[in-house]
Amino acid sequence: MPKKQTRRNIKKVLEGTSDSHESAFYKRPGRALTSAMLNARRNSVEVRDPETGERLLIHTHLGEKGKNHLLPSPDDTLGMKKLLPNGVKSHAIALKQNGKIVGYTFVRIKNPHASLDIGGDGYFCWTRYNACLHQGDRVNYKKYFDEYLAVLKKLGLQIRFVPNKEEGYVFQDGNFVMKNL
């Protein structure tokens, strides 16, 4: 039986992945991470169906200082719906910046019968949030972050942000930032 992985070991595996494309792994309780990737690109990853016992999908989002995709994209939410029949209700997005994990977004599907299709208005919220990220628009970022987060919660998703405190990060204004000492 594989050695139980601690949080530190999981972080080490995730930090060892490529900085040129997203990565994905499944996690079984008390077991090591197993690769879930079929096809990976810079901003997306295609995953295989989970095997029996795999309950958590962890995938990386690549970020830059001030430009971090903390929230699941519309494609991420549809992928979550696809994995529900296999028993995967929990997802983690590990935000990777310059080879380091700066924090995690944990997403749990509260209502397994929800459509998880964000629809036209939700997609419009996503595009505004995404545009603010890529343009570095800090003035409107928090507003659109909160707006898109509300859309996701309305779909029945429970979302929690966990900064990597070992590296000195905190969650503030919709982003993981270095703590001021």
Q: Identify the structural domains of the chain with CATH numbers, from first to last.
A: 7-111+156-171 (3.40.140)
User: What radius of gyration do the chain's Cα atoms show?
Assistant: 16
SS3 93: strand
pLDDT (tens digit, 9 = 90+) per residue, 86-132? 889 899 999 998 889 999 999 999 887 777 788 888 889 899 998 88
Cα distance between residue 153 and residue 122, in whole Å: 11
Amino acid 129 reads Y
**Looking at per-residue confidence, does 146 or 78 come out higher?**
146
Select the more confidently predicted residue: 145 or 67. Answer: 145
Q: Give the predicted TM-score (pTM) of the model.
A: 0.88
Listed residue (174, 179, 176) closest to 163, CA to CA: 176
Residues 131, 137: contact at Cβ < 8 Å? yes
